[in-house]
Structure 1
Amino acid sequence: MTTRPLRPRAVLIAGPTASGKSALALALAERTGGVVINADSMQVYRDLRVLTARPSAEEEARAPHRLYGHVDGAQDYSAAHWLEDAAAVLAETEAEGRLSIVIGGTGLYFKALTLGLSPMPSIPPEVRARVRALDETAPELHARLRAIDPETAARLRPSDTQRLMRAIEVFEATGRPLASWQAEPAGPPVLPGEETVRIFLATDRAALRARIAARFHTMMDMGALEEAKALLARGLPADRTILKAHGMPWFARHLAGEITREEAIEGGIADTRHYAKRQDTWFRHQLEGWSALPKEAAEDLLRNAIPAG
């Protein structure tokens, strides 16, 4: 008598940008009748379908997709917001008897989902406005943070203006360093890692660099620049997360007449490659219990571990 493998509560698929996660998740969803759930912090925004490489309308028609393009670009959207939304979708998917397939490249989302999230304070609007109005360069912000929260400052890149301001906001609002809040015990995980199959797509670095460049050029052909122009026309505050999407700062400079189209493309490709390298390093050092596999081996593992729906 053959015993069918027990189906896990969810399959988690992570990896660097352009590593083939979406195709792997979609194939699994079609085979099992599962639901693809986004865990990418840029693909939550509706404004940039092309530039953030969200699934196409045709792909979305082949299997249910959730938490893609459901947030307006004007909104702040944190890991805590995503965790709340993901918990609701996971509950719905389980109630329907479907397999949840969580896919993305935002490591903090997966960490919050499987290990829990430390409590974080809400920031009063007046504090956020005061900090965001600081007329300081990134190095100056880093020096300011180093004086009040050296532990967090040591972890952040001196050029990461958004996270520097976030850490300063927390201190201004609470009188406590961000590192102190993050040291608080995490709440119970929504989806304990041991109840899942966890895969990190390992990639050949040279091949990934080539795929990133090819995909960026494809996105240009699909209207990424026009998409960026429409977003900039909204006049959003400069601190909105969506404006940091790979390519957006370069497109903004091109549309302002500061650089050529070709320079904007090369800048966007370079930024994306650097991000993919950081993703690979983060996942390998921050999350335990994940299987780091090339795509073909990942396909074999899922075929053997997950029965068809």
Structure 2
Amino acid sequence: MPHRGGVALKAEHYRTIVETQPDVGFFEVHAENYMGAGGPPHRFLSAVRERYPLSLHGVGLSIGSDRPLDTEHLRRLKELIARYAPALFSEHLTWSSHDAGFLNDLLPLPYTLQTLHRVVDHIDQVQEALGLQMLLENPSTYLAFAESSYSETDFIAEIVRRTDCGLLLDINNVLVSSVNQRWNPFAYIDAYPLAKVQQFHLAGHAREVDEKGRALLIDTHDRHVDARVWDLFAYACEVTGPLPALIEWDANVPDWPTLQAEAERAEAILQEPARSAGHTMRITAQRTALSPG
């Protein structure tokens, strides 16, 4: 996978991409959107895959669920991976299933030893079934569980140690969670196991206020990447160096030039050799929390 900016592949852009072959690093798709046997989505994805590297992003495994993984879902996922040979496959540190079925949300977990054992078992099962390393994405959260006995960064680091999975660091999720829970996103990145990161996600979010009039960020993926997310991205890149960086824009999808421009901005940050501005941020951010307002 090239260490470049990429974009989420959307039906609105299929023909433009196939006909013009724009200069972007890679495309990413949600696995669940391509689990049917055929039809136009597969025809376009096959055409795109012939010309570009592909990243596969799952949203339906429910890694954190307290029920067994769906073996039929795993089977279809394995077939999809065999069909398109993506360079990367990722899933979320969340849950979305229960005995009554599936929810439309990716829900957070308490960071406890019991949860750790369950998540580790599920990741081991996924990696064994698929025959590849999966990347685990940090969640966007709106609250913390009182029973948590690990910080999120320590919890993720322990998962990696026990499973040897890789990591997908979603920078927008870091900012959303930090503002909603009133902690320093730079400190989070400092504590994160950055050596295990293989991909970044970047996205936009909506800004609201809670019942006390405090800032509340909603992970909407429906607008430009926020300036503070770009700053955090540059900050993380100082340690990781260039890695694949995806622009997620899933609602209110813009025209192709707008989306491509976001990917080009990500790539410019990735390729900045000295990152002198980021170095300055790195020195000051150790002492200064990003204002939640």
- TM surpasses 0.5: no
TM-score (norm 1): 0.28
Say which one has the larger Rg.
1
Structure showing the higher strand proportion among its residues: 2
TM-score (norm 2): 0.29
Structure showing the higher helix proportion among its residues: 1
Higher relative contact order (CA 8 A, sep 6+): 1
